[in-house]
Amino acid sequence: MQITEELKKVFHEQFQAKPLIVRSPGRINIIGEHTDYNEGLVLPAAIDKAAYIAASLRDDDEIHLVAMDLNEKFSINLKDLQPVGAVNWPNYLLGSAAQFLKRGTKLPGFNAVLTSTVPIGAGLSSSAAVECAMIFALNEILQTNIDKIAMVKMAQQAEHEYAGVMCGIMDQFASMMGKRDYVIKLDCRSLEYEYVPFKLDGIKVLLLNTNVNHSLASSEYNTRRKECKTAVEWVSEHVQGINSLRNVTEEMLNSYVLPKDKLIDKRSRYVVQEINRLEEGCTYLENGNLVELGKKMFATHDGLSKMYQVSCKELDWLVDKVRNNPDVIGARMMGGGFGGCTINLVKENAIDELVTTLKLDYEKEMELPLTYYVASIDNGTEIITS
């Protein structure tokens, strides 16, 4: 495999050592957006684009990192471990290492070389892929025997503490736990999950990348979280046992949130509706009724765009363009929002023509390139060579 050979070569040049190599994928999400941090359900899957980390332990207290794709290096002593402001990429690796120290693990210095095929800023969780790869690799070389779910939580913490994004658990869970040809129906409250088969005859997952740089995304993401929390507080003043939007109903919103604040109502109502939509959408998937699942995906997009307001004109444009196309079963924006990809379920034999037409129109009207990927559903984090 070419990536592995390249990684080994760079690792050897930098550190004259033989590394462990771990692959951890990006993810898609069929339906259930912005529900994970509201203790709802999600339906993600790992894909065939991944972060790869080559790592080995050192005899001293230094961390030496290389970003192969950027041709950049970064070093720090373990005693100085903290988020670094100036450069971004080391934070995902350092934040992951920091989780071992927090558990009380004795962490020696280590070397790591990173490369990734997950496009950055495309809403495919390139950062979760890196965190999961780093944590999995360290767990292996330190022989700490941490179970996978605990590693998922460590990766989520790394994102909170070193990237400042108060993400839910979906991305890291999908990256670590993915299974080829299955989506994961994950209950983000209990962390119970089941694998649902996702082999669609003649239909493919097409990702259309707006190439919009979503610089607003992390601050707006954290704002949405706070808005949801406010709604929960208002409802819980009247209804016992409410600590998230999971068990909140639209009737409760009508009584306790809408009269107080229209914006908070709109945000929380989207989430309440989306939690129900996922349940229905998943039943359609299990029964092979893709047409109805597709309608739910369009409905999710409308909610994200108009109520949760995390879309942008480019995402809306891409979804509107395929809305009445009989070859497109469902489409919506995916991930945190403000840019990144739309996810489309498309008849396989229509993809080439669809992409050609969309590209021309998109590039003319939005003055941005349109890139696309046909994603296959792949396994979660795994060792490639040791």
Residues taking part in catalysis: 171
CB of 33 to ligand GAF, least distance (A): 4
Of 28-36, 55-63, 138-146, 277-285, which part binds ligand GAF (CB under 6 A)? 28-36
* Residue 170 makes contact with ligand GAF by CB under 6 A: yes
Minimum CB distance to ligand GAF smaller for 117 or for 125: 125
Alpha helices (runs of H) in the chain, residue ranges in sequence order: 2-15, 89-102, 126-142, 148-158, 170-177, 217-236, 250-256, 262-286, 290-302, 313-322, 351-366
Pair of tokens at residue 336: 């945190």
Site string for ligand GAF, 317-336 (x = CB under 6 A): ------------------xx
* Residue 378 makes contact with ligand GAF by CB under 6 A: no
- Answer for which of 43, 167, 257, 264 binds ligand GAF (CB under 6 A) is 167
Minimum CB distance to ligand GAF smaller for 14 or for 172: 172
Minimum CB distance to ligand GAF smaller for 151 or for 170: 170
The rounded distance, in Å, linking the Cα atoms of 221 and 195 is 28
* Residue 224 makes contact with ligand GAF by CB under 6 A: no
The bridge status of strand 41-42 relative to strand 341-347 is unpaired
Enumerate residues 6+ apart whose C-beta is below 8 A from 2: none
CB of 14 to ligand GAF, least distance (A): 31
Minimum CB distance to ligand GAF smaller for 171 or for 227: 171
The vertex-361 CA angle with 359 and 367, nearest 5°, equals 85
CB of 88 to ligand GAF, least distance (A): 16
The helix/strand/coil state of 25 is strand
Cβ–Cβ under 8 Å, residues 138 and 96: yes
Minimum CB distance to ligand GAF smaller for 338 or for 362: 338
The rounded distance, in Å, linking the Cα atoms of 300 and 227 is 19
Minimum CB distance to ligand GAF smaller for 62 or for 220: 220
CB of 110 to ligand GAF, least distance (A): 26
- Binding to ligand GAF (CB under 6 A) within 30-69 occurs at 33-34, 36-37
331, β-bridge pairs: 344
Of 3-11, 162-170, 232-240, 358-366, which part binds ligand GAF (CB under 6 A)? 162-170
Angle, helices 290-302/313-322, rounded to nearest 10 degrees: 150
What phi and psi values does residue 26 have, to the nearest 5 degrees?
Answer: -80, 180
Residue 125: name the closest of 33, 193, 246, 38 by CA.
33
CB of 299 to ligand GAF, least distance (A): 15
- Binding to ligand GAF (CB under 6 A) within 104-133 occurs at 125
Per CB under 6 A, residues contacting ligand GAF are 33-34, 36-37, 125, 167-168, 170-171, 335-336
